């Protein structure tokens, strides 16, 4: 059975506070913080993009797994902010970890859930014996239009998972998905910022799909919310995952460790995967973990993981997510605009 | 600055992964790679060798008036890094809020170096990060 052999996460260290963005638009920071459940977000450096974030996470995953990167037979990078429209991020990442040339690679896009779709793809390839190890990455440097509500949450980060059968730290015992054509969020080719369906993004998009995939998983495995030590839900803000957990019958303690959006914002394809990385940083052998991602457009992938003894042998090699989150530098709105390339000098 | 795709592509192993070479006869490590070992001359036995990326700051300078390529990045720091394996490498030092000091420990990260305008290639390259 395929499982996780290694993982790595990366969050850029720059942060901007909700207060600083609210100051520019004359909005109430308290109202936004209460409404979204987010107090600050990560911002990538001027020299960072989805490829460099994916590469850093991938290098950490290879180090953690302790495998020869030549044995990685597939690299898939899920992102909605690939640096090129045409030229694969996955090839750059593979080169940066010393994988290839005898391997397959491709970029995926499914809003915030392309990374978990990549996990499912490499699981199938590993289980069928097509490859020994596969790498699935979710990484983004998402942007919100200045003045749009998304500007308070759209952030940057990523996580990489190496899937294989040998020396796993957690086996993936089941996966389910729930997908429909839903116009909740989109961005056309060549357009800098996304559009969204306002209120439509909640009930008919996030909640319907997250609940759809998770309920299907509980039926498939015969497990109940109380059987899990941890649960991670996609987190476009701090409120949605908290509400969906409650609707499904999970307790706040189960989602706490993997709930990162309140402190780094929504890292899109990275979000549920960084949340899972944070959980693996402290999970113990025998723990059961539920992860359900969500991507606009819309769909959810759900996974149940069973943590193995091997996690104790590799744990010291992890760059812990919550330590990374605590290591930060605040920037103001002007530096934020310069950093995001909104100010052009030529 | 425009870089011919083939020229940056040829240097990719060095610029992404610090691959230089090592003389198997005397153990000397080179970055960038050399064709002949300084110590062994015609007896050289050079093989590809990946540097760990670990090192320390030997000297540094803050750039406030850069060339056009890095105009948007100023101010930034260029460091002369003494790598764990021996070679000295010059490179950008990422701003992570830590003070650059002689002797400070560094590791490498992959970052965007520059892009050829809006339509051209993006050039990725190692930079150094203070630990
Ligand atoms: Zn020699």
Q: What is the ipTM of this complex?
A: 0.95
> Which of B52, B54, B112, B119 is best to mutate for the A interface (most A CBs within 10 A)?
B112
Put simply, the answer to whether A52 touches B112 (Cβ < 8 Å) is yes
pLDDT at position B2: 67
Q: Is B12 exposed, middle or buried (0-12, 13-18, 19+ CB in 10 A)?
A: middle
The nearest CA of chain B is from the CA of A91 a distance in Å of: 12
Q: Does B117 touch chain A (CB under 8 A)?
A: no
Q: Which residue has the higher pLDDT, A300 or A203?
A: A300
What range does the domain containing B66 cover? 52-131
What stretches of chain A show up as alpha helix (H) in DSSP?
Answer: 18-25, 29-36, 50-65, 89-96, 114-127, 208-221, 239-248, 252-256, 261-264, 271-282, 311-314, 321-326, 333-339
* A158, A257: one domain: no
Put simply, the answer to whether A48 touches B111 (Cβ < 8 Å) is yes
The residues of A that are catalytic are 80, 112, 234
CATH assignment at residue B116: 2.40.50.840
* A17, A117: one domain: yes
Which of chain B's residues have a Cβ under 8 Å away from the Cβ of A92?
A: 124
* A217, A265: one domain: yes
Q: A with B: how many residue pairs have Cβ under 8 Å apart? A: 49
| Beta-carbon contacts of residue A129 (< 8 Å; ≥ 6 apart) | none
Q: How many domains does chain A have?
A: 2
Using CA atoms, how far residue A175 sits from A133, A275, A301, B109, in Å, is 18, 17, 7, 34
Q: Which helix (H) or strand (E) holds A140?
A: strand A133-141
* A195, A83: one domain: no
| Beta-carbon contacts of residue A254 (< 8 Å; ≥ 6 apart) | A225, A228, A229, A230, A231, A245
* A229, A275: one domain: yes
Mean per-residue pLDDT for A84-113? Answer: 97
* A113, A163: one domain: yes
pLDDT above 70: residue A294: yes
Put simply, the answer to whether B110 touches A52 (Cβ < 8 Å) is yes
Residue B7 lies in a domain: no
CATH assignment at residue A7: 3.40.47.10
* B79, B116: one domain: yes
Nearest CA in chain A to B16: A96
* A111, A40: one domain: yes
* B35, B66: one domain: no
* B30, B62: one domain: no
Mean per-residue pLDDT for A290-311? Answer: 97
Q: Does B111 touch chain A (CB under 8 A)?
A: yes
Opening angle at CA A61, ends A57 and A64, nearest 5 = 135
Model confidence pLDDT, tens digit, residues A143-192: 888 889 899 999 999 999 999 999 999 999 999 999 999 988 899 988 88
Residue A344 lies in a domain: no
Model confidence pLDDT, tens digit, residues A48-78: 999 999 999 999 999 999 999 999 999 999 9
Mean per-residue pLDDT for A288-295? Answer: 98
Model confidence pLDDT, tens digit, residues A8-53: 999 999 999 999 999 999 999 999 999 999 999 999 999 999 999 9
Using CA atoms, how far residue A337 sits from A334, A340, B49, in Å, is 5, 5, 40
* B38, B96: one domain: no
pTM tops 0.95? yes
pLDDT at position A346: 47
Residue B1 lies in a domain: no
* A327, A280: one domain: no
Residue A179 lies in a domain: yes
* A235, A318: one domain: no
Is the separation of the CB atoms in A293 and A301 below 8 Å?
yes
Kindly give the confidence (pLDDT) of every residue in chain B, 131 residues in length, as a single tens digit, with 9 standing for 90 and above: 567 788 888 889 999 999 999 999 999 999 999 999 999 999 999 999 999 999 999 999 999 999 888 888 889 999 999 999 999 999 999 988 898 999 999 999 999 999 998 899 999 999 999 99
Put simply, the answer to whether A96 touches B110 (Cβ < 8 Å) is yes
pLDDT above 80: residue A345: no
* B28, B61: one domain: no
* B34, B22: one domain: yes
What range does the domain containing A95 cover? 3-169+314-339
* B60, B110: one domain: yes
* A283, A262: one domain: yes
């Amino acid at each position: 059975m395929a499982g996780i052999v290694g993982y790595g996460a990366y969050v850029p260290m720059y942060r901007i506070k909700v207060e600083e963005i609210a100051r520019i638009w004359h909005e109430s920071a308290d109202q936004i913080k209460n409404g979204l459940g987010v107090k600050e977000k990560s911002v990538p450096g001027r020299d960072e993009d989805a490829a460099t974030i994916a590469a850093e996470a991938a290098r950490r995953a290879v180090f953690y797994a302790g495998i020869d990167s030549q044995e990685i037979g597939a690299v898939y990078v899920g992102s909605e902010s690939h640096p090129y429209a045409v030229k694969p991020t996955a090839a750059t990442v593979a080169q940066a970890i010393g994988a290839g040339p005898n391997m397959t690679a491709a970029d995926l896009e499914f809003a915030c859930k392309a990374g978990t779709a990549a996990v499912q793809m490499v699981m199938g390839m590993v289980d069928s014996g097509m490859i020994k190890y596969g790498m699935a990455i979710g990484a983004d440097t998402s942007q919100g239009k200045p003045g749009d509500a998304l500007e308070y949450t759209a952030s940057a980060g990523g996580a990489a998972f190496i899937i294989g059968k040998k020396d796993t730290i957690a086996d993936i015992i089941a996966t389910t998905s729930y997908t429909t054509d839903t116009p909740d969020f989109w961005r056309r080719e060549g357009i800098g910022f996304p559009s969204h369906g306002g209120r439509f993004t909640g009930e008919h998009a996030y909640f319907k799909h997250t609940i759809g995939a998770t309920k299907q998983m509980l039926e498939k495995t015969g497990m109940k919310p109380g059987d899990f030590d941890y649960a991670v839900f996609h987190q476009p803000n701090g409120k949605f995952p908290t509400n969906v957990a409650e609707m499904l019958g999970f307790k706040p303690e189960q989602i706490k460790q993997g709930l990162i959006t309140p402190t780094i914002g929504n890292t899109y394809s990275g979000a549920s995967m960084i949340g899972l990385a944070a959980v693996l940083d402290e999970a113990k052998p025998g723990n059961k973990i539920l992860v359900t991602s969500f991507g606009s457009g819309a769909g959810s992938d759900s996974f149940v993981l069973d943590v193995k003894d091997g996690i104790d042998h590799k744990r010291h090699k992890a760059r812990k997510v919550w330590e990374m989150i605590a290591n930060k530098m605040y920037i103001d709105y002007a530096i934020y605009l310069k950093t995001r390339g909104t100010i052009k000098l030529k | 600055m425009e870089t011919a795709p083939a020229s940056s592509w040829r240097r990719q192993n060095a610029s992404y992964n610090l691959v230089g070479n090592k003389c198997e006869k005397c153990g000397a490590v080179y970055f960038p790679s050399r064709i002949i070992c300084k110590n062994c001359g015609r007896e050289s036995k050079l093989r590809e060798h990946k540097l760990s990326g670990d090192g320390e700051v030997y000297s540094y300078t803050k750039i406030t008036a850069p060339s056009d390529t890095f105009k948007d990045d100023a101010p930034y720091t260029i460091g002369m890094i003494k790598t764990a394996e021996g070679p000295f490498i010059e490179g950008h030092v990422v701003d992570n809020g830590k003070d650059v000091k002689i002797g400070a420990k560094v590791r490498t990260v992959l970052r965007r170096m520059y892009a050829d305008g809006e339509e051209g290639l993006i050039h990725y390259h190692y930079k150094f990060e203070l630990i």
